[in-house]
Amino acid sequence: MNTKQLRRKILDLAIRGKLVSQDPADEPASALLERVRAEKERLVKEGKIKRSRKDNAIIRDDNKLRYEQLPQGWTWCRLNDISIVISDGDHQPPPQAANGIPFLVISDIVSGSIRFDKARFVNHEYFNSLAWSRKPQTGDVLFTVTGSYGVPVSVHTDRQFCFQRHIALIRPCIVGGLFLSRFLASAVIKQQCDEKATGIAQKTVGLETLRNLYFPLPPLAEQHRIVTAIESAFTVIDEIERNKTDLQIAVTAAKRKILSLAIRGKLVPQDPTDEPTEVLFSHGSVNKAQIPFDVPENWVWCKLGDICNYGKCKNETPQNIPNEAWILDLEDIEKDSGRILDFVVKTDRQFNSNKHVFSKGQLLYNNLRPYLNKVLVAPESGYCTSEIIPLDFNIEVDVYYMRHLLMSKYFLSYAELCSYGVKMPRLGSTNAKKALIPLPPLAEQRRIVAAIETTFEQLDMITEKLNS
């Protein structure tokens, strides 16, 4: 179940008056607008707000409104008509403080809720100097206007905070903040923002655009029914998402457990008729004191460098690589799955460094940030970044068995322990070749691979159904 699409559908029904039924006894939205205007006029006379020239503008169902007809009792208005304030944060970068008043940026609200855990701070003097229109209060709505624009967040806290200029503040009049924030998340509003956003690198929705957004306004009583219906539906969706997250975590844990059982000889039964594994050791046998766990009797422990050509790959200069050749970079590989995300040929990728040459069927191992688990068997020949190591194994080793082993928690823990570098940890060739490998007979390796891939396929089907 695609819960994001489900949320969008619920909001789409709500903003078109199809989520709850209309009640002819409700005070019409036109009367609500008159009450809003009267309240704003009172605030003008008290000097709390300034009169807007657009407050009394008439909204007509003209060609600018490309949406279906509103239900009876509803009316079109502009966002400014139902707002006391539409402002943004201070345009000057404030002086930061070690503690004090939280100062929010887009990343603190883009999830759809306010997060203070990573917020920076400004001092109380700076906060006190801000205008009333830039100090959020309960019932306000924050709205991102730059970059990831169009994310509304209802303010439900009395905590003092301020925010950067890439966030707008909308203070509704009589209309509820939660209702407003839900409608502002709808496709009707998103479409208008997309049409009016300016800029190239980072699109921005200006305050005037916000003030002039066409807004479908239901009667106040219906707004309350709409909010109740939306929140009830979203509560169910939240539970579905929690269950999805729990299940996805369980799927990931199950895959790790399967690999753990596989490399310990506990996934498939041993067959005494299997031909024993015979490995030619260039550095002698493995010291029994080094063995991390027990394996079946017909298995052997060896070192990675004894069964493959780790670090002995061929390099090629850019000028000698054909234009139609496949150039594989780390960004083209999905973490944890090893799935290829993008095939890029030389003519579509700019580079000046030498590349490793790899052949179809070789194991490609990522030694930079090995915790990303980018390991795959090459489906075609090509050239790759030097951070990807092409490996050839001897005839007694199944390349797919080794792929699963190198992606197991056992090997990941070893790589993490031996990696050097803080920001960009890397598993060096010397330590990689010393890694201890539990190796079953070739026939059992292939049975293990078949069992892993059958089970993983079933688990992946579960994940796909969660996201469909």
The alpha carbon dihedral of 416, 420, 422, 423 has a sign of negative
Contact 10, 234 (CB under 8 A): yes
Instruction: Cite the residue boundaries of each domain of the chain with CATH code 3.90.220.20.
Output: 15-222, 251-467
Six-digit token string for 302 = 């060896």
CATH superfamily of 15-222: DNA methylase specificity domains (3.90.220.20)
User: For 41-81, what is each residue's pLDDT tens digit?
Assistant: 999 998 888 877 655 554 554 444 445 689 999 999 999 99
Does CATH place domain 251-467 in 3.90.220.20? Answer: yes
What is the phi/psi pair of residue 31, to 5°?
-70, -35
- Report the alpha-carbon distance of residue 240 to residue 244 in Å, rounded: 6
User: CA geometry: angle at 246 spanning 240 and 250, to 5°?
Assistant: 140
The pLDDT value given to residue 201: 74
The pLDDT value given to residue 154: 96
Contact 207, 86 (CB under 8 A): yes
- List the helix and strand counts (H, then E) for the chain: 12, 19
Residue 300, strand partner residues: 439
Distances in Å between the Cα of 74 and the Cα atoms of 31, 226, 293 are: 10, 13, 71
**Cα–Cα nearest to 22, from 232, 222, 228:** 222
Query: Which stretches of 82-201 are assigned E, i.e. beta strand?
Result: 83-88, 96-97, 101-104, 120-122, 141-144, 152-154, 162-163, 167-172
User: CA geometry: angle at 224 spanning 220 and 227, to 5°?
Assistant: 130
> Which DSSP string do the residues of 432-457 spell out, in sequence order?
HHH-EEEE--HHHHHHHHHHHHHHHH
Give the pLDDT mean for 214-221. 96
Give the pLDDT mean for 404-424. 94
Element housing 462 (H / E): helix 442-467
pTM value is: 0.66
Six-digit token string for 310 = 């780790």
The pLDDT value given to residue 277: 73
- Burial bucket for residue 169 (CB in 10 Å: 0-12, 13-18, 19+): buried
User: For 268-321, what is each residue's pLDDT tens digit?
Assistant: 999 999 988 765 444 456 788 889 999 998 999 999 999 999 989 899 999 999
